[in-house]
Amino acid sequence: MSTPDILIAGLGPAGLALAAACSRRGLAVRTVEAHPGRTWSATYGMWHHQWERACAAFPELSGVPFSTTPRPRLIAPRRSGASPQFGLIAADYVVVDTAALQCALAAVCPPRMTSEEVLATADLGALAAQGTRVIDCRGAVPPDLRADPAAAACQTAYGVVLPAQHAREYLPGGAGCLMDWRTDAFGSPAKPSFLYAVNLPGDRMLLEETDLVGAPALTIARLRERLHQRLGWASPEPGTAGRAEGFADPDEIERSRGVLATEKVRFPVLPAVRPAGLETFGTAGTAGHPATGYSVGEILRSAESAADALAAGRPIPASTGVGTRALHRLGLRALLALEGPALQEMFAGFAALDVRRQLAFLDRSSKALPTGMAMASQWWNTTNATRAAVARAALLGR
């Protein structure tokens, strides 16, 4: 085989989007992937304007089915005991058909570009040191780097897929939500989680209990328990506190409720350190939003500029500036340290933001000034007690 211009490790959304963009520029691309025949199964969501930008960058995506949740709600309790804050997110939320997305990007790539091969990070670094242009797209923390401290901060979730008409019976007004932080169904835990309820292609809906970020994060089993309690599917027997002490069998419950599929999510929100000289793209680089977990919209947006840089022999540009990355890390630091009412009220503060500031925070590519203004406004929209807790958490990490 002739020496490729680019060697891409990993064929998730980042690796495949970058390979497609590089192929269109006439670059010789070789990719390595441990499981090249595996179909993507995760739920990939993004804001509608991000999907429009992705389709403009990759016209092949225009035929990919998707479903929209119009202006999803955000509901969060107020620390003062007042009624929960109800807000609408500024943009429509899109979930794409992931298998169709994978096929559309793969169709742009040349056949037989992929080797079924596992290369350790050290091997990729050695190839880069020998002069090969190697791009690591294996995600924030590949298996051989799980000892890295970055692996500790994770987002976890457990979800069920239901026919849309059935799922809407569990939602006030039948409307989807990006976050519902109310925890009445399972008390007032120190570590709250939220319901994420969005439309899926094929007239289905995903109802998912999510731990936004934790170190350690809530377990999948605990989130499954909470989701069942939130939906009214299970309740503990008197005097018990969990499934081991009295919940019904969760598999039986889900079968009886007509669950079509389930989803288990666990991913680190920060990238592990790579060897010097090994380039990165996607969540291995700067595309992942550490305070929300979103990445796919930014990956599809930035693949074109990354390929342009590779074709010109330049370094891959960062998705966003140093200032914005520092602010997002500060937000992550606060999220990891906040507990219970303070964490919930921070999102009540977000729900009260105007459209412009919501989008400034949600978009990974925003400039530092609008991002900082959005974060400051969110902080100001809370009570004095929460402001103090957030300041302490962000500055001291406790």
pLDDT of residue 172: 83
Residue with tokens 């203004």, as numbered in its chain? 373
Residue 202 and residue 292 in one domain = no
Which of 266, 300, 330 is where one domain is finished? Answer: 266
Residue 274 and residue 340 in one domain = no
Strand partners, 94: 46, 68
Residue 210 and residue 301 in one domain = no
- Is 225 within the bounds of a domain? yes
- Is 160 within the bounds of a domain? yes
Residue 130 and residue 25 in one domain = yes
Strand partners, 158: 209, 264
Q: For the chain, list residues with pLDDT below 50.
A: 1, 237-245
Residue 250 and residue 117 in one domain = no
- Is 85 within the bounds of a domain? no
- Is 176 within the bounds of a domain? yes
Q: Are 258 and 166 in contact (CB under 8 A)?
A: yes
Strand partners, 30: 7
Residue 55 and residue 140 in one domain = yes
pLDDT of residue 303: 95
In DSSP notation, 37-86 reads: TPPP-S--EEEHHHHHHHHHH-GGGGGS-EEEE-S-EEEE--TTSPPPEE
Which of 292, 311, 330 is where one domain is finished? Answer: 311
Q: How many domains, the chain?
A: 3
pLDDT of residue 1: 44
Residue 204 and residue 286 in one domain = no
First CA to last CA distance, the chain = 54
Range of the domain at 236: 154-266
Q: What is the CATH number of the domain that holds 101?
A: 3.50.50.60
Which of 257, 278, 311 is where one domain is finished? Answer: 311
Residue 161 and residue 230 in one domain = yes
Residue 306 and residue 276 in one domain = yes
Within 10 angstroms of residue 347's Cβ, the number of other Cβ atoms is 25
Residue among 13, 184, 23, 191 nearest 102 (CA): 13
Q: Are 103 and 11 in contact (CB under 8 A)?
A: no
Residues 6+ apart with CB under 8 A from 306: 18, 21, 281, 316, 317
Residue 162 and residue 142 in one domain = no
Residues 6+ apart with CB under 8 A from 112: none
- Is 261 within the bounds of a domain? yes
Residue 296 and residue 199 in one domain = no
- Is 90 within the bounds of a domain? no
- Is 78 within the bounds of a domain? no
Alpha carbons within 13 angstroms on the beta-carbon side of residue 294 total 20
For 257-383, where are the alpha helices, taking DSSP H only? 296-311, 322-337, 340-351, 355-362, 368-380
Whether the link from the prior residue into 84 is cis, omega within 30° of 0, is no
| Torsional class of 81: left (φ above 0), alpha (ψ -120 to 50), beta (otherwise) | left
- Is 328 within the bounds of a domain? yes
pLDDT of residue 254: 95
Residue 143 and residue 177 in one domain = no
